[in-house]
Structure 1
Amino acid sequence: MKKIVIIGLLLITAHFAQAQDKIEWLKFEEAVAATEANPKMLLVDVYTDWCGWCKKMDKETFTDPAVVKYINDNFYAVKMNAEDDNRKFDFKGKEYTEAKMAAAMRVQSYPNFVIIDPTLMNITQLPGYRQPVEFLAGLGEIVDKGIGAK
């Protein structure tokens, strides 16, 4: 019985340790609510299911420990499928699908990373696949300049 309890505790500890090694992805409306309660910039990863470079970002860049920590510390991260016309949500009094929101943000290529400031104004886009160091440099430049700070 004691061994089962120890194994259970180890599994729970491993689960929490693993959870900290991942980006905390939110739905768009969850990130909006979170930034209203505790202001941070939003990082919106606009992707499509068929995009090979998007999958490469997920596999290589978004699993890099430095990228995971930096995003979780500085942004509310959102995954948005630019072709999803099914899931609906409200934003600033209008109803959107993920596809309509991607179009409203003027995303035309994938992957594309839209940075939205804490006041929910579109700041900039970082288009295209980026390796971890390059991706962190682009995000760091935005954060260091204080773009979007309240």
Structure 2
Amino acid sequence: MKKVFITLLVFLGSFAVEAQELKWETDINTAISVSNKTKKPMLLFFTGSDWCGWCIRLQKEVLKTPEFTKWAKKNVVLVELDFPNAKQQSDAIKTQNNDLQQIFGIQGYPTVYFATAKIKNGKPSYTGLGKTGYVAGGPSAWLNVANEILKNK
């Protein structure tokens, strides 16, 4: 009985490790810190997660695929900047997201902005690398666009 339990535990544990999801930062200061430590640019995903059809489609067709997961772990620090209708957010996150929307001139969703940042005089100074949104053709088409943008880093 003990062997069966241990075998089952190892089996289920392997699924848990395999199914680990990507880490999406929601705090820009944490994301900047990770970006600077890892020398990876940030992928800023401006989304309306609970109302924007194109955002949901981008998530389903690209951002939640194994191809994107593999690429993202190697290339970027992920940051979700959400503007939901029904989902609750703290006032600090709402203010942060609105400020970043203004800084990057976001006018529609989804917008994916690639950027780096340094802290100067206690405030972030951003360098934009480029932006995209939904790209038809699945993960490979979207990743081709992203890789072209990241050539500029």
TM-score, normalising length from structure 2? Answer: 0.79
Q: Deviations over 1:23-53 (max 9, x none)?
A: 3312233211112222111001110121011
Match for residue 106 of structure 2? 107
Structure 2 residue identity aligned to 1:99: N
Say whether the 8 Å CA contact 2:35–2:116 is kept in structure 1: no
Between the aligned residues of both structures, percent identity stands at: 19
Match for residue 124 of structure 1? 130
Match for residue 10 of structure 1? 11
SS in structure 1 opposite 2:19? helix
Match for residue 43 of structure 2? 43
Q: Which runs of 5+ in 2 are unaligned?
A: 119-125
| Separation in structure 2 between the aligned mates of residue 134 and residue 59 of structure 1, nearest angstrom | 14
| Separation in structure 2 between the aligned mates of residue 128 and residue 103 of structure 1, nearest angstrom | 20
Structure 2 residue identity aligned to 1:40: K
Say whether the 8 Å CA contact 1:116–1:123 is kept in structure 2: yes
Give the Å deviation of 1:63: 2.3
Are the structure 2 counterparts of residues 137 and 109 from structure 1 closer, same or farther at C-alpha, using a change threshold of 3 Å? same
| Separation in structure 2 between the aligned mates of residue 12 and residue 87 of structure 1, nearest angstrom | 37
Does 2:140 align with 1:133?
Answer: yes
Q: Which runs of 5+ in 1 are unaligned?
A: 90-95
SS in structure 2 opposite 1:68? helix
Structure 2 residue identity aligned to 1:51: C
Say whether the 8 Å CA contact 2:135–2:141 is kept in structure 1: no
Give the Å deviation of 1:6: 1.4
Structure 2 residue identity aligned to 1:126: T
Structure 2 residue identity aligned to 1:12: G
Q: How many residues align?
A: 139
Structure 2 residue identity aligned to 1:102: Q
TM-score, normalising length from structure 1? Answer: 0.80
